[in-house]
């Protein structure tokens, strides 16, 4: 099999250098594949160059333990833009979403628990166990967030109203002015429809710490903590960090089959999302090559892109290159020296790529049995959604964050546990299960040890398992094996600078017209012919696909202008 794969890869790479491509895409993650699909549908010859042995980037399924298929990094689907699902016909290409109901379970040390989901009656009944006032407020809270998401929807699917760079024709300038005028007029129209009070509330949400937002709505600790995890996931931020309210909103922007804010599993794991996009891209004519690591961009005397140089020395030629890598990797590692403005490069280097995330994927021989629920071996509602461990109050989350900021892996980590095999019977042997643990906070460089130290890694993993044991006794004894990805692992294995799952922080200073840098938010870059199509571009991280789709449209528009 190895010989066949090596032969296939060698043949594919030979085919790469035999022609000049209309466009090259660095990285076969979901955004890179999305960009390739739209470019190929636009009539371009496109090649995708993926460093690893399989496509998918952080949205990938891997069978690391025989019979158990892990969604190694991303593990839930909701943010993928409906326009992409429809336009690329992803359901026809094999993507099957498995709706979770209920979607959230938080066990408490006092024997109580909180279930939440798309069922409004369930939510009211469950929240009433802790606070009647909160049960009344929760539908209004959800309704307000839904209105804010509708306000933002068109912004996600559109390029930013960026100023034109360089010499432009009179026609291009007029088109740009018209687009910006239309964009801002549309925003003002939607703002007017919200009304002044709602717009003030919207700005308050964007600028405030999540703790302030949630304290103004609710009184019960467990409800606030359950909701607050969405505000800090994937970051080194605390619930008290200003601007964390936006991240809270970002994680309820998505939908499953038209249901706003509902997250789903994907049959076969998250790799099935990437494979469906890959099939759509290939059907459109894109050429996808794995085990093809890019080492550097090639530029000509004029300073424009001329293609890429692979790690094996192969030259692949094209005057258009889209990078699905992080901004740091793209502009610092791939672009040759002295090709970018100093100010731009400083901004990229000084961006926040910090991460407090560790992912542990486990194979277990039985479901965890929580003390707060009736004990039974079969799957119950508590096993279906995201299980929040170690976050019964926002102060617990804040304390865990403080440990991370002080250079220590959290003494009581914040853990989001999911068990996709409860709904997806294709990813584990009968009677056994796959469990994902998304864990915070784990600094990139701990002050009390090293992630390269096997004993240190095992010690932290056992700390996480022991915390779960407090709520589900015997959990540790059910583990058959596990795969652990710390921030340095996420960086080396998946190219995520600093281990940051969003290709860079999602603070308000790093979004919209500031992503990845002021003046360069519309997927174009200071290097002629180079575009950014990954999560480091607008509108940001998550398995969304919007950066890839928007970047492809930018390329197609630029080609049209030159004709």
Categorise residue 25: left if φ over 0, alpha if ψ from -120 to 50, beta otherwise.
beta
Instruction: Read off the pLDDT of each residue in 458-478 and give the average, rounded to a whole number.
Output: 97
Q: What local confidence, expressed as pLDDT, does residue 370 receive?
A: 95
Percent of the chain clearing pLDDT 70 (strictly above): 97
Position 176 confidence tier, pLDDT thresholds 50, 70, 90: confident
Q: What local confidence, expressed as pLDDT, does residue 254 receive?
A: 77
What does 70-92 look like in DSSP terms, one character per residue? EE-S---B--S-HHHHHHTTTTT
Residues 155-175 pLDDT 10s: 999 999 998 877 678 888 888
Residues 85-104 pLDDT 10s: 999 999 999 999 999 999 99
Q: What local confidence, expressed as pLDDT, does residue 262 receive?
A: 82
For the chain, give every domain's residue range.
Answer: 2-59+82-92+270-351+504-562, 121-220+228-253
- Contact (Cβ atoms closer than 8 angstroms) between residue 551 and residue 533: yes
Structure-block tokens of residue 92: 């026809």
Structure-block tokens of residue 170: 């009179």
Q: What local confidence, expressed as pLDDT, does residue 8 receive?
A: 54
- Contact (Cβ atoms closer than 8 angstroms) between residue 277 and residue 295: no
Structure-block tokens of residue 148: 């804010």
CA gap 111, 274 in Å, rounded? 40
Helix (H, G, I), strand (E, B) or coil at 290: coil
The yes-or-no verdict on residue 384 having pLDDT over 50 is yes
Q: What local confidence, expressed as pLDDT, does residue 10 receive?
A: 65
Reduced 3-state DSSP string for 309-335: EECCCCEEEECCEEECCCHHHHHHHHC
Q: What local confidence, expressed as pLDDT, does residue 135 receive?
A: 98
Q: What local confidence, expressed as pLDDT, does residue 420 receive?
A: 98
Instruction: Read off the pLDDT of each residue in 45-50 and give the average, rounded to a whole number.
Output: 97
The yes-or-no verdict on residue 526 having pLDDT over 90 is yes
Q: What local confidence, expressed as pLDDT, does residue 2 receive?
A: 38
Q: What local confidence, expressed as pLDDT, does residue 167 receive?
A: 61
Helix (H, G, I), strand (E, B) or coil at 491: helix
What pTM does this model have?
0.95
Least confident of 251-260, 449-458, 520-529: 251-260
Residues 346-380 pLDDT 10s: 999 999 999 999 999 999 999 999 999 976 768 89
Instruction: Read off the pLDDT of each residue in 216-220 and give the average, rounded to a whole number.
Output: 97
The yes-or-no verdict on residue 14 having pLDDT over 80 is no
Q: What local confidence, expressed as pLDDT, does residue 11 receive?
A: 67
Nearest partner of 313 among 15, 5, 17, 6, judged by Cα: 17
Superfamily of domain 2-59+82-92+270-351+504-562: FAD/NAD(P)-binding domain (3.50.50.60)
């Amino acid at each position: 099999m190895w010989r066949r794969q090596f032969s296939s890869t060698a043949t594919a790479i030979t085919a790469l250098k035999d022609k000049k491509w209309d466009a090259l895409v660095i990285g076969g993650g979901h955004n890179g594949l999305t960009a390739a699909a739209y470019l190929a549908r636009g009539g371009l010859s496109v090649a995708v160059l993926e460093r690893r042995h399989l496509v998918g980037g952080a949205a990938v399924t891997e069978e690391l333990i025989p019979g158990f298929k892990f969604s190694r990094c991303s593990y839930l689907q909701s943010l993928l833009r409906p326009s992409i699902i429809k336009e690329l016909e992803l359901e026809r290409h094999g993507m099957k979403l498995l709706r979770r109901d209920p979607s959230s379970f938080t066990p408490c040390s006092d024997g109580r628990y909180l279930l939440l989901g798309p069922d409004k009656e369930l939510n009211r009944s469950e929240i009433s166990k802790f606070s009647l006032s909160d049960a009344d407020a929760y539908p209004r809270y959800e309704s307000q967030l839904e209105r804010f998401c509708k306000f933002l929807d068109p912004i996600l699917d559109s390029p930013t109203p960026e100023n034109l760079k360089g010499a432009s024709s009179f026609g291009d300038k007029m088109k740009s002015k018209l687009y910006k005028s239309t964009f801002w007029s549309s925003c003002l129209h939607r703002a007017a429809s919200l009304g002044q009070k709602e717009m003030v509330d919207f700005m308050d949400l964007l600028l405030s710490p999540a703790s302030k937002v949630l304290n103004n709505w609710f009184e019960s600790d467990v409800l606030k903590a359950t909701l607050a995890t969405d505000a800090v996931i994937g970051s080194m931020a605390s619930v008290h960090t200003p601007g964390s309210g936006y991240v809270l909103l970002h994680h309820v922007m998505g939908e499953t089959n038209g249901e706003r804010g509902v997250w789903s599993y994907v049959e076969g794991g998250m790799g099935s999302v990437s494979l469906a996009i890959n099939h759509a891209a290939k059907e459109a004519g894109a050429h996808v090559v794995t085990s093809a690591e890019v080492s550097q961009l090639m530029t000509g005397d004029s300073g424009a892109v001329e293609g890429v140089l692979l790690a094996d020395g192969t030259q692949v030629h094209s005057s258009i290159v889209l990078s699905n890598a992080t901004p740091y990797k793209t502009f610092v590692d791939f672009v040759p020296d002295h090709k970018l403005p100093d100010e731009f490069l400083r901004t990229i280097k000084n961006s926040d790529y910090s991460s407090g995330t560790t992912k542990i994927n486990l194979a277990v021989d039985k479901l965890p049995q929580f003390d707060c629920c009736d004990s039974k071996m079969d799957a119950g509602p508590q096993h279906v959604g995201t299980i929040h461990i170690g976050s019964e109050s926002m102060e617990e989350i804040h304390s865990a964050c403080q440990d991370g900021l002080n250079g220590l892996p959290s003494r009581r980590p914040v853990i989001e546990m999911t068990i996709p095999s409860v709904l997806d019977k294709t990813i584990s042997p009968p009677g056994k299960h796959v469990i994902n643990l998304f864990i915070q906070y784990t600094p990139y460089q701990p002050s009390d040890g090293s992630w390269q130290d096997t004993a240190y890694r095992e010690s932290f993993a056992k700390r996480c398992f022991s915390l779960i044991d407090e709520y589900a006794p015997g959990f540790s004894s059910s583990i058959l094996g596990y795969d652990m990805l710390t921030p340095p692992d996420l960086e080396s294995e998946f190219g995520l600078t600093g281990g940051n799952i969003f290709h860079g922080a999602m603070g308000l200073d790093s979004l919209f017209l500031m992503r990845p840098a002021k003046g360069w938010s519309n997927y174009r870059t200071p290097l002629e012919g180079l575009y950014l199509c990954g999560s480091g571009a607008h509108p940001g991280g998550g398995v969304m696909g919007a950066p890839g789709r928007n970047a492809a449209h930018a390329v197609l528009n630029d080609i049209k202008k030159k004709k």
